[in-house]
Amino acid sequence: MKAFLPLSLLLAAWPTLAQDIGALTAETRKAVLPVVPKVVSAMQEAVAEKGVAGAIPVCKEQAPALIKAKRQETGWDIRRVSLKTRNAERGTPDLWEARQLAEFNIRAANGEKPDTLEKSEIVSLDGKPVFRYMKALPVGDVCLQCHGPAEGLDAGLKAKLTESYPHDQATGYGKGQIRGALTVKRPL
């Protein structure tokens, strides 16, 4: 019996080795992805109602609030990250995330559709298994109004951005480029 102890200890520490990464991905998608179209339509409504400068609070407060609600509902760590942040405090990727964002750009350049780009992996964080998931957020029409080329942005919006985000790097995007990603960490 003793000979089997190490194996059972290993399985206790890594219960997910036996689990299907496909099932974890499907479950994560189902729980988390509905937040994406919600954020986009909140953005579209806000821009239509209040103009671009008036819609800033939607991206600043409402989008993070919708994500926070998902965090509370699932108990998982969910964030938005980007290689070129507007709000570096909230949106700076860790090493794993930065690598996936760079990969997404390469995969898009090789012809994969930006809105299908995602990545799932089980990694070891501080010796514990964690399921990580990322989903690319491509630039659509509404995004261009606040993340497009600086010279084309509304003057009132520019003034507000300069005031609130003096280190803003999140302009200059074109349609279909990858603005960033939704990222999920699930301890297993």
Is 67 among the residues that bind ligand HEC (CB under 6 A)?
no
Q: Are 70 and 133 in contact (CB under 8 A)?
A: no
Give least dist CB 109 to ligand HEC, A. Answer: 19
Q: How far is the CB of 28 from ligand HEC (least distance, A)?
A: 18
Q: What is the DSSP letter of 170?
A: -
75 by DSSP, 3-state: which?
Answer: coil
How far is Cα of residue 42 from the mean position of the Cα atoms in its chain?
A: 17
* Helices 21-32, 63-74: inter-axial angle, 10-degree rounding: 130
* Cα–Cα dist 179/188, whole Å: 29
With CB under 6 A, what is the number of residues at the site for ligand HEC? 27
Answer for which of 24, 28, 32, 55 binds ligand HEC (CB under 6 A) is 55
Shortest reach from residue 24's CB to ligand HEC, in Å: 23
In the complex, least distance from residue 170 CB atom to ligand HEC, rounded to whole angstroms: 4
Residue 148 found at the interface with ligand HEC (CB under 6 A): no
Q: Which residues of 15-31 are buried (b: 16+ CB within 10 A; e: fewer)?
A: eeeeeeeeebbeebeeb
Q: Could you tell me which residues come within 8 angstroms of residue 64 by beta carbon, excluding any fewer than 6 positions away?
A: 80, 90
- Taking CB under 6 A as the binding criterion, the range among 1-9, 18-26, 114-122, 134-142 that sits at the site for ligand HEC is 134-142
Distance between CA atoms of 66 and 85, rounded to whole angstroms? 19
**Residue number, 40 or 98, with CB nearest to ligand HEC:** 40
64 versus 129: smaller Cβ distance to ligand HEC:
64
Region of 11-19, 70-78, 119-127, 145-153 interacting with ligand HEC (CB under 6 A): 145-153
Return residues touching ligand HEC (CB under 6 A). 40, 43, 47, 52, 55-56, 59-60, 64, 80, 82, 85-87, 90-91, 137, 139-140, 142-143, 145-147, 170, 179-180
